[in-house]
């Protein structure tokens, strides 16, 4: 297969390097890391050992051309660039797989990519980019693949087999929408509260928006070490689950307990939104927080914790 990776930060570089290791013709579309990756390749540091990948490098999509599969690892804050970036990479048979967080990404792609070509991939992984072309993988890595607005196809299972060949655990879901909401049960509290911690606990309780931010972000182990923050995390999870159930997606409330225990066992970890905040980069608010809130409001589900979290994150967002 000819594979294109669009968005080669921690996520795109990790999975792109893994796919490269299977012998596929793998192209990285790069910006700031172009020189480093072209010169030194991509280094994945992982508890299971290191992987040094040497994918083909390009600055512009026209240098790559039409691919059999394109994987999108861009932050959702850059989705406006996708029509320009994907045009030269896609033909009538190209599979376009978004690995992005949150809701609405497949729908955005469907504005300019035929829906039958779109898949979603949910990545359950702990990793960070620690230098140009250097990715630190600390835990997990599983991918769940699903088709956009239809059941799995033979190609879905073929892609899953390719991930497994690359050493990545990969399942296929028959209900991509439900799987998105299941992931939000983790993403919303641990990405959101981790950043909101910079404004302080009271901002989420009494609605006072931060004027001066003096605190720091709260990694997962800090959130779960404080009963107040753990309670907020659980309340947010239950709001997300209630919304999913109102939408007919049938998620058990026991998932909240499972996610908290899984996170506790994971150890110290900074979710991606915390790192964006520390680097003064725009936060992925629309897909990960505002769209779930909009859907909750439309479904008539009370979500006071999520609404407060959205207000605080909007006040903290470094976006111009």
pLDDT at 213: 53
pLDDT of residue 279: 87
**Secondary element (H or E) of residue 57:** strand 56-58
Determine the pLDDT at residue 66.
98
Q: What are phi and psi of 28, to 5 degrees?
A: -100, 125
Q: Residue 298 belongs to what H/E stretch?
A: helix 291-299
Stronger pLDDT, 231 or 210, i.e. the higher one: 231
Other beta carbons less than 10 A from residue 164's beta carbon: 14
Q: Residue 182, Cα to own-chain centre: how many angstroms?
A: 13
Distances (CA, A) of 247 to 83, 181, 292: 30, 10, 11
pLDDT value of position 112: 97
Q: How far is CA 71 from the centre of its chain?
A: 12
Question: Does 214 have pLDDT greater than 70?
Answer: no
Which helix (H) or strand (E) segment is 42 a member of? strand 42-46
Average pLDDT, the chain: 94
Residue 18 has a pLDDT of: 98
- Residues of the chain above pLDDT 90, percent: 84
Report helix, strand or coil for 148.
Answer: coil
Percentage of the residues of the chain whose pLDDT score is greater than 70: 97
Q: Can you say how many angstroms the Cα of residue 163 is from the centroid of all Cα atoms in its chain?
A: 17
Residue 206 pLDDT level (bands cut at 50, 70, 90): confident
The mean per-residue pLDDT over the stretch 282-296 comes to 96
List, by residue number, the catalytic residues.
Answer: 183
pLDDT at 215 over 70: no
The predicted-structure confidence for 241-276, as pLDDT tens digits, reads as follows: 999 999 999 999 999 999 999 999 887 888 889 989
Tell me the CATH number for domain 179-316: 1.10.1040.10
Judged against a pLDDT cut of 90, whether residue 155 lies above it is answered with yes
Residue ranges with strand state E in 198-240: none
Which residues are within 8 A (CB) of 76 and not within 5 positions of it... i.e. 6 or more apart? 100, 101, 102, 105, 284, 286, 287, 288
Q: Residue 204's pLDDT is what?
A: 85
89-98, 163-172, 198-207, 227-236: lowest mean pLDDT where? 198-207
Q: So what's the pLDDT on residue 272?
A: 87
What is the CATH superfamily name and number for domain 2-174? NAD(P)-binding Rossmann-like Domain (3.40.50.720)
Task: Locate the domains of the chain by residue range.
Answer: 2-174, 179-316
Confidence of residue 203 (pLDDT cuts 50, 70, 90): confident
| Tokens found for residue 258 | 């499972």
Mean pLDDT of 186-214: 80
Q: Above 80 in pLDDT, residue 208?
A: no
Asked if 278 and 177 touch (Cβ cutoff 8 Å), the reply is: no
pLDDT (tens digit, 9 = 90+) per residue, 101-113?
999 999 999 999 9
**33-63 confidence digits (pLDDT tens):** 999 999 999 999 999 899 999 999 999 999 9
Query: Does the pLDDT of residue 191 top 90, yes or no?
Result: yes
In the block, residue with structure tokens 């809701």: 103
Query: Which of 111, 90, 108 lies closest to 98, judged by CA?
Result: 108
What CA dihedral angle connects 100, 177, 90 and 41, to 10 degrees?
30
How confident is the model over 217-233, as a mean pLDDT? 93
């Amino acid at each position: 297969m000819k594979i294109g990776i669009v968005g080669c930060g921690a996520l795109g570089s990790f999975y792109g390097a893994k796919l490269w290791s299977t012998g596929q013709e793998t192209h990285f579309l790069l910006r700031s890391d172009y020189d480093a990756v072209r010169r030194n390749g991509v280094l994945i540091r992982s508890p299971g050992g290191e992987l040094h990948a040497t994918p083909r490098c390009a600055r512009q999509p026209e240098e790559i051309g039409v691919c059999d599969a394109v994987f999108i690892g861009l932050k959702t804050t850059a989705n406006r660039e996708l029509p320009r970036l994907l045009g030269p990479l896609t033909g009538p048979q190209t599979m376009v797989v978004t690995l992005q967080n949150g809701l609405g990404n497949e729908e955005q792609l469907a504005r300019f990519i035929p829906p039958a070509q779109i898949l979603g991939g949910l990545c359950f992984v702990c990793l960070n980019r620690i230098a140009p072309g250097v990715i630190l993988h600390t835990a997990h890595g599983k991918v769940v693949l699903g088709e956009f607005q239809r059941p799995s196809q033979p190609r879905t299972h073929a892609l899953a087999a390719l991930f497994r060949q690359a050493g990545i655990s990969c399942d296929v879901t028959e209900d991509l929408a439900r799987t998105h909401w299941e992931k939000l049960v983790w993403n919303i509290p641990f990405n959101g509260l981790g950043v909101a911690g910079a404004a302080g606990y009271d901002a989420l309780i009494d609605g006072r928006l931060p004027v001066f931010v003096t605190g720091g972000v709260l990694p997962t182990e800090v959130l779960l070490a404080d009963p107040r923050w753990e309670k907020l995390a659980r309340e947010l999870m239950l709001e997300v689950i209630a919304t999913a159930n109102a939408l007919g997606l049938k998620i058990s409330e026991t998932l909240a307990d499972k996610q908290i225990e899984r996170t506790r066992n994971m150890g110290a970890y900074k979710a991606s939104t915390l790192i964006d905040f520390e680097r003064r980069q725009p936060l992925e608010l629309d897909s990960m927080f505002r769209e779930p809130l909009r859907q909750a409001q439309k479904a008539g589900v009370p979500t006071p914790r999520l609404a407060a979290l959205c207000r605080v994150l909007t006040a903290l967002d470094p976006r111009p």
